[in-house]
Amino acid sequence: MEYAAQQIINALSFGAEYALLALGLAIVFSVMGLVNFAHGEVIAVGGYTMVAFAALVTANPLIIIIGAVAATALTSVALERVAFRPVRYADPTTGLLTAFGVSIVLQNLFLLFISPRPIAVTSLYFLDAPVMVLGVQISSLQIFESITTVVVIIGLVLFLQRTTLGLAMRAASLDFEMVRLTGIRANRVFALAFLISGLLAGLACIFIMARRGSVDPHFGFNPVLKAFVACVVGGFGSLPGAVLGGFLLGAVEVAMLVLLPQEYGGLKDAFVFGIIALVLVWRPDGILSPAREKGDKL
Amino acid sequence: MTLTRGQKRGVAGACILALILISIGVMASLFASNYQLRLVYSTFVNLIVVLGLQVFMGNSRLTNLSHSAFMGIGAYAAAICVTPVAMKQIALPDAPWGLNAFALDPITSALLALVITGVIAFLVGIFIVRMTGTGATIATLAVLVIVHSIFLYRTDIFKGNQAFFGIPQVFSLTSIVILAVVVVFISRGFRESAWGVMLRASADDETGAAAMGVNVTRLRLIAWVLSSLIIACAGISYAFFLGTISARPFYFNHVFLTLAMLIFGGMRTVTGAVLGTFAISFGLEVVRWLETGPVVVGIDLPEVLGLSGVMLGLVIVLTMAMRPVGVMGDREIEELFIRKR
């Protein structure tokens, strides 16, 4: 019983992390149709900012966290301004390949100017402490992670439902031309989408860092790959789909960790992706994909 | 059999490209040092990969990121078949299923490797071709990761990141040039065939093409399998020339490299694939030389490792921003000579 409860909480916290990342990808995709391969590098920027803050400024974890989130948000917005604006109205393949190129450039810049080796950050270890809840031992990190994700989802829903800009963003995912005709600035909508995406990346960065304790140039790659898969399973561009896909992926991953024998540990990801592929046999466009006719948006 | 005008032009264009490739091969064998010969050879291997990639990406305009995995499958399958038993007993002492107790001649091994790659590509392709653009790309990325993790995990068969050695070196520069010429004809032939034309039409307007009776998923699957077979050829010739392979070259760095080549040259044409491969290969050698920190006109440049990666990424970003269709765009080589009507 206790073991089962622990594993369920594990699945929830894995799922929460993937959901945070997948939301960041989905919000950009829904507005602009861009598959943001550079998301992982945005997270890595957050990680390196933590290194810089911890080494140069202060040991206060709160300031380090705020600094990292601010850095990812700024990086994300800056990338939109510098790299993605020229391909804003291009077809999805062009955007995808651009993002892919940006990701390669950033990764190699980290290699070039920082270090190919992992750099340790110890100031966030305090987040990961064992606590007892109702007789079940879990990590405090898992609680923080789940709560943060729930708060973020509620906040995002409120923002999208209750504010004008939120409404504009939802409308932009359906018909961007119409949004512009109503007098809302395109630049503002795009910048906001990237800002939110960057904030989400920053939050995810904190949790990844608390778990791993070090940052290297490929820091964000694996989590973001999972988040991409979560997006595809949930239906690319659908925000509820991203959350659903994230939690589904977390559940499958923990199930694999529990069920697979120890010696198959190296193949965990292969099995996870394989199972997820079966979902796509059932619904090739993802579970919650909008039932939109092809050629609708000309 | 009568050829359409596009097909006649295709033959002409492929002949011009073949001449260029052969003359590069002849020049290399006449003037190049041993080290340069190896560079030229690996450029030709990459050329075959890029041509294979063009068959799928250029005609269906879906982005494939898993091609290096299929190159690896082809290379490993051929290597396991062809390596002499005595060698395999040392290299793979605990391989399962009697994999280290048989050896075939190179041609049978290559054919067997093609069949294996083809079957795997077909099974994977069934999933891939049904998805819409973005989903398909992410799925190919997942395929790359899955295949790589299997290479790394089954060290008893693939030796993971260690070298799989003892493969007979049966390929030379001549054989790879011939193979590249054949592949140029195949990929240009596919582009101008009825299938190729229908597939390109479906990339321009999926609904419209489907309404005209084009079976989009089936055509994509055909292109996907053909593309994987061509890429497997590249993998086999890589293994047959070097004599040793490992899992590392069949992963992300190679994906970036070949993708940058195709994008820069222009993925819509076979000419673009050839141009991109040679341009990027040459440019990269210059950048690698700069990376080592040479002395240029009296100035001692610092060592900058990672510069080649930055340049590759920049090539992709700038091509996409300034000319998304690549240098060649929609023009094949013969159209530079024939007057437009």
Choosing among A97, A236, A238, A260, which should be mutated to test the B contact, i.e. which has the most B CBs within 10 A? A97
Question: Where do we find the tokens 């209750």?
Answer: A162
Give the closest-approach CA distance of B108 to chain A in angstroms. Answer: 30
pLDDT at B120: 92
Spatial distance between the Cα atoms of B77 and B300, rounded to a whole number of angstroms: 46
pLDDT beyond 60 at B326: yes
Residues of chain A neighbouring B310 (CB-CB closer than 8 A): 104-105, 108-109, 112
**Is B20 strand, coil or helix?**
helix
Give the closest-approach CA distance of A270 to chain B in angstroms. Answer: 5
Spatial distance between the Cα atoms of A31 and A35, rounded to a whole number of angstroms: 11
**Is A215 strand, coil or helix?**
strand
CB-closest option in A87, A229, A236 to B142: A229
Task: Identify any residues that bridge with B295 across adjacent strands, giving them in sequence order.
Answer: B300
pLDDT beyond 60 at A296: no
If one counts every other C-beta atom within 10 angstroms of the C-beta of residue B297, the result is 4
User: Is B6 in CB contact (< 8 Å) with chain A?
Assistant: no
Instruction: Tell whether the torsion through CA atoms of A144, A145, A151 and A152 is positive or negative.
Output: positive
**Mean pLDDT over the full length of chain B:** 82
Per-residue model confidence as pLDDT tens digits over B23-33? 888 888 888 77
Read off the DSSP letter of residue B245: B
pLDDT band at B48 (very low <50, low <70, confident <90, very high): very high
pLDDT at B121: 92
pLDDT beyond 80 at B89: no
Spatial distance between the Cα atoms of A73 and B287, rounded to a whole number of angstroms: 33
Give the closest-approach CA distance of A164 to chain B in angstroms. Answer: 29
One DSSP character per residue, B154-187 reads: -HHHH-TTS-B--------HHHHHHHHHHHHHHH
Say which range, A89-103, A258-272, B306-320, has the weakest mean pLDDT. A258-272
pLDDT at A171: 83
**Is A115 strand, coil or helix?**
coil
pLDDT band at B229 (very low <50, low <70, confident <90, very high): very high
Residue A19 · residue A242 · CB < 8 Å = yes
pLDDT at B302: 65
Per-residue model confidence as pLDDT tens digits over B165-211? 777 777 888 888 888 889 998 998 898 888 888 888 888 888 888 88
Tell me if B316 and A98 make a contact (CB, 8 A cut-off).
Answer: yes
pLDDT beyond 60 at A269: yes
Minimum Cα–Cα distance from B324: chain A residue: A94
Residues of chain A neighbouring B316 (CB-CB closer than 8 A): 97-98, 100-101, 104
Higher-confidence residue: B226 or B9? B226
Tell me if A229 and B138 make a contact (CB, 8 A cut-off).
Answer: yes
pLDDT at B51: 92
If one counts every other C-beta atom within 10 angstroms of the C-beta of residue A257, the result is 15
Say which range, A128-137, B35-44, B195-204, has the weakest mean pLDDT. A128-137
**Is A99 strand, coil or helix?**
helix
pLDDT band at A297 (very low <50, low <70, confident <90, very high): very low
- Residue in A22, A39, A47 with CA at minimum distance from that of residue A211: A47
Distance, first Cα to last Cα, chain A: 54
Task: Identify any residues that bridge with A214 across adjacent strands, giving them in sequence order.
Answer: A120
Give me the half-sphere count of Cα atoms (radius 13 Å) on the Cβ side of residue B140. Answer: 28
Phi, psi dihedral angles at A270 (to 5 degrees): -60, -45
Higher-confidence residue: B121 or B246? B121
pLDDT at A196: 92
Say which range, A282-291, B73-82, B194-203, has the weakest mean pLDDT. A282-291
User: Is B133 in CB contact (< 8 Å) with chain A?
Assistant: yes
User: Is B134 in CB contact (< 8 Å) with chain A?
Assistant: yes
Average pLDDT estimate for A28-52: 87
Give the closest-approach CA distance of B316 to chain A in angstroms. Answer: 5
Angle in degrees, 0-180, between the axes of helices B252-265 and B270-291, rounded to the nearest 10: 120
Give the closest-approach CA distance of B139 to chain A in angstroms. Answer: 8
Spatial distance between the Cα atoms of B51 and B193, rounded to a whole number of angstroms: 16
**Mean pLDDT over the full length of chain A:** 82
pLDDT band at A298 (very low <50, low <70, confident <90, very high): very low
Give the closest-approach CA distance of A69 to chain B in angstroms. Answer: 25
pLDDT beyond 50 at A45: yes
Per-residue model confidence as pLDDT tens digits over B270-289? 888 888 898 888 888 888 88
Per-residue model confidence as pLDDT tens digits over B122-173? 988 888 888 777 778 888 888 888 888 888 877 777 777 777 777 777 788 8
Phi, psi dihedral angles at A219 (to 5 degrees): -50, -50
pLDDT beyond 70 at A243: yes
Angle in degrees, 0-180, between the axes of helices A2-32 and A164-174, rounded to the nearest 10: 80
Give the closest-approach CA distance of A136 to chain B in angstroms. Answer: 34
Phi, psi dihedral angles at A177 (to 5 degrees): -55, -45
Rounded to two decimals, the pTM is 0.82
pLDDT band at B303 (very low <50, low <70, confident <90, very high): low
One DSSP character per residue, B53-96 reads: HHHHHHHH------HHHHHHHHHHHHHHHHS-HHHHHHH-TT-S
Tell me if B134 and A225 make a contact (CB, 8 A cut-off).
Answer: no
Tell me if A294 and B206 make a contact (CB, 8 A cut-off).
Answer: yes
Choosing among B158, B316, B323, which should be mutated to test the A contact, i.e. which has the most A CBs within 10 A? B316
Tell me if B138 and A96 make a contact (CB, 8 A cut-off).
Answer: no
Average pLDDT estimate for A66-82: 90
Residue B9 CA to its chain's centroid (Å): 24
Tell me if A273 and B313 make a contact (CB, 8 A cut-off).
Answer: no
- Residue in B297, B241, B214 with CA at minimum distance from that of residue B110: B241
Instruction: Tell whether the torsion through CA atoms of B271, B275, B281 and B287 is positive or negative.
Output: negative
Average pLDDT estimate for A283-293: 67
Task: Identify any residues that bridge with B245 across adjacent strands, giving them in sequence order.
Answer: B164
pLDDT at B38: 83
- How far is residue A81 from each of residues A85, A102, A169, B324, measured CA to CA in Å? 6, 13, 18, 18
- Residue in A272, A239, A121, A110 with CA at minimum distance from that of residue A169: A239
Q: Which residues, at least 6 apart from B249, have a Cβ–Cβ distance to it below 8 Å?
A: B68, B72, B238
Antiparallel, parallel or unpaired: β A119-120 and A136-139: unpaired
Spatial distance between the Cα atoms of B141 and B130, rounded to a whole number of angstroms: 16
pLDDT at B227: 93
Give the closest-approach CA distance of B125 to chain A in angstroms. Answer: 12
pLDDT beyond 50 at A295: no
Please tell me whether the interface predicted TM-score (ipTM) of this complex is above 0.85: no
pLDDT at A293: 46
Say which range, A7-21, A85-99, A223-237, B327-341, has the weakest mean pLDDT. B327-341
User: Is B329 in CB contact (< 8 Å) with chain A?
Assistant: no
Instruction: Tell whether the torsion through CA atoms of A228, A230, A236 and A237 is positive or negative.
Output: negative
Phi, psi dihedral angles at B286 (to 5 degrees): -60, -45
pLDDT band at A222 (very low <50, low <70, confident <90, very high): confident
CB contact residues (below 8 A), chain B span 141-160, against chain A? 141-142, 145-146, 149-150, 152-153
User: Is B303 in CB contact (< 8 Å) with chain A?
Assistant: no
Average pLDDT estimate for A77-81: 90
User: Is B263 in CB contact (< 8 Å) with chain A?
Assistant: yes
Question: Where do we find the tokens 């998805």?
Answer: B131
CB-closest option in B141, B152, B315 to A225: B141
Spatial distance between the Cα atoms of B81 and B110, rounded to a whole number of angstroms: 8
Higher-confidence residue: A289 or A16? A16
Residues of chain B neighbouring A32 (CB-CB closer than 8 A): none
Average pLDDT estimate for A165-190: 83
Minimum Cα–Cα distance from A106: chain B residue: B310
pLDDT at B226: 93
Tell me if A35 and B137 make a contact (CB, 8 A cut-off).
Answer: yes
User: Is B290 in CB contact (< 8 Å) with chain A?
Assistant: no
Tell me if B317 and A101 make a contact (CB, 8 A cut-off).
Answer: yes
Tell me if B135 and A286 make a contact (CB, 8 A cut-off).
Answer: yes
Spatial distance between the Cα atoms of A80 and A168, rounded to a whole number of angstroms: 18
Residue A15 CA to its chain's centroid (Å): 11
User: Is B330 in CB contact (< 8 Å) with chain A?
Assistant: no
